[in-house]
Amino acid sequence: MEEVNFACEYQKDVSLKDKTWIHRGGMVKYWLQPKTIDELTSVGYYLYANRESFVIIGYTSNTYFKNSFNIKFVIDTRQLKNYFPLDKDTLMCECGAPIAKVSRYCVENGIEGYEGLIGLPGTVGGVFSVILAVITVV
């Protein structure tokens, strides 16, 4: 089997039981841990160009893998926590940015509509995933 090297930190032959919040799941050949959007983009290009199946996860508190679930690639977005304003009306958030910190920033900087999210656990990516799931069901 061909050896794969990525432009980000990674671990080989990882048990999902050791990585997930509820300690369930099979094995992952490559556990990828990008620290920047450039690293995440590079990994994404590689996986798509090579038609590889993969799973993207955050803190895994809302993720359940069966013990029989085995996959070659998992992208862990927990280190992508940055957020910053692009202009007075737009905030750029990486998928691992804590929603509580982002919403507090918005409230402290006069951006309305985020007051109810201050104590919400999870990340921007996780909250967005839940919103998409609710929209799909409705």
Are 76 and 44 in contact by the 8 Å Cβ rule? The answer is no
Report whether pLDDT(68) > 50: yes
pTM of the model: 0.77
Q: Is there a domain that residue 125 lies in?
A: yes
Q: Are residues 101 and 72 in the same domain?
A: no
Q: Are residues 25 and 64 in the same domain?
A: yes
Q: Are residues 53 and 96 in the same domain?
A: no
User: In CATH, what number is assigned to the domain containing residue 52?
Assistant: 3.30.43.10
The Cα–Cα gap between 97 and 81 comes to 4
The Cα–Cα gap between 56 and 79 comes to 13
94-112, pLDDT tens digit by residue? 888 888 888 888 888 888 8
Q: Are residues 133 and 105 in the same domain?
A: yes
Number of domains in the chain: 2
What is the span of the domain harbouring residue 26? 9-76
Question: Given pLDDT bands bounded at 50, 70 and 90, which one contains residue 2?
Answer: low
Q: Are residues 31 and 47 in the same domain?
A: yes
The Cα–Cα gap between 85 and 68 comes to 43
- DSSP H helices, the chain, are 16-19, 37-49, 99-108, 124-137
Q: Are residues 111 and 127 in the same domain?
A: yes
Q: What is the DSSP pairing of strand 9-15 with strand 90-93?
A: unpaired
